[in-house]
Amino acid sequence: NSIWVSTDHDEIEKVAKQFGAQVHRRSPEVSQDSSTSLEAIREFLNHHHEVDIVGNIQATSPCLHPSDLIKVADLIQKEGFDSVFSVVRRHQFRWSEVKKGENKMTEPQNLNPAKRCRRQDWPGELYENGSFYFAKRHLIEKGYLQGGKMAYYEMRAEHSVDIDIDIDWPIAEQRVLSFGYFGKEPLKEVKLLVCSIDGCLTNGRIYVTEDQKEMVSYDYRDMVGIDLLKKKGIQVRLISERDCSKTLSAMQLGCIAKVSATNKLEVLENWQKDMGLSWKEVAYLGNEESDVECLKNAGMSGVPADACAVAQKAAGYICKSNGGCGAVREFAEHIFLLLEKVNSARKR
């Protein structure tokens, strides 16, 4: 009936509202490092007496699909269960732990070594995967997320991703690409990247020699990134508020560029229309206040790590690299990740 994000963070509140969620502002008492989900949910219910069932979705499980949540809601609303939680089937043989210094042997926990079967022939066991917990109000008020008439909901293994530690990230990333939920609207490939020159392609510094000639520096990795984008069929165009024609000529990038651009959004709109692209097919990398409207309109937007605050707030992706230090290459990799998602969705 309603979707809420529980947070004590201004930026998370802003993003949540942009995506259509309502926000419950957590109190400091339930916003500690040691605070539990149950504490936050109980506080929420104290402010929302109209809510009688809560579905607590864990942010660390990024492969959850809406169809699973709908089925779980039906188990409570139509079949009378008081609580439902998510599990996954695992085929792992367990042995008892022997602590260092103990004069004991390990013992099998869920197998008979004398009649050991192949794991794939064994039905396995059910484990909580932490993806979601649904419960009725009366249980939560008593301090339980699981209780009463209970049921588990078995999720498919490919959808069961739990991020706990750093090494879980690359595994989750690949799993999301293949099995994640990307919404009902089809994903679009990026076909145009527009990059601000000063502060993105370069570090924004201008060196002036004694004979008044200007020099700028750039990172070779960014040149490689532009070349890789072109090989993937993505056009790369450059834009700048100042006249840097000589610099671009020296860099020999072979990209269409617009310099002395007083209105970057107008230039971007003209390019978009001339190429017959939707905004979702346009990516933009900027770093200054003059880039904000372009960042807001582009389907994919990014800024270097050292971009100004207003540009960072408008962007969908903040690079780890500074401008002129690999940010273009990094953003190119981010675009390639989207292309993989598009291809995965098409295959499905």
Those residues whose C-beta lies under 8 Å from the C-beta of residue 306, and which sit 6 or more positions away, are 199, 287, 322, 323
Distance separating alpha carbons of residues 106 and 150, to the nearest angstrom: 34
- For residue 132, the cross-strand partners are 57
From the candidates 25, 26, 94, 116, give the one annotated as an active-site residue. Answer: 116
The span from the CA of 301 to the CA of 203, in Å, is 19
Burial, 173: exposed, middle or buried (Cβ in 10 Å; 0-12, 13-18, 19+)? middle
Q: Which helix (DSSP H) or strand (DSSP E) does residue 329 occupy?
A: helix 327-347
Sign of the dihedral defined by the CA atoms of residues 244, 249, 253, 258, in that order: positive
Residue type, 147: G
Alpha carbon distances (Å) from 303 to 324, 327, 334: 12, 8, 12
What is the β-pairing status of strands 192-196 and 235-239?
Answer: parallel
- Residue 90, amino acid: R
Q: What's at 277, amino acid-wise?
A: L
What's the length of the chain? 348
Q: Give catalytic status of residue 116 as yes or no.
A: yes
Report strand pairing: 235-239 vs 256-258: parallel
What DSSP element (H or E) covers 222? helix 220-231
Helices 327-347 & 168-179, crossing angle to 10 degrees? 50
Q: Which residues pair with 235 in a beta bridge?
A: 192
Copy the structure tokens of residue 239: 């834009």
Phi, psi of 169 (to 5 degrees): -60, -55
Tokens standing for residue 105: 């042997």
Q: Which two tokens stand for residue 17?
A: 């509202």
Active-site amino acid positions: 116
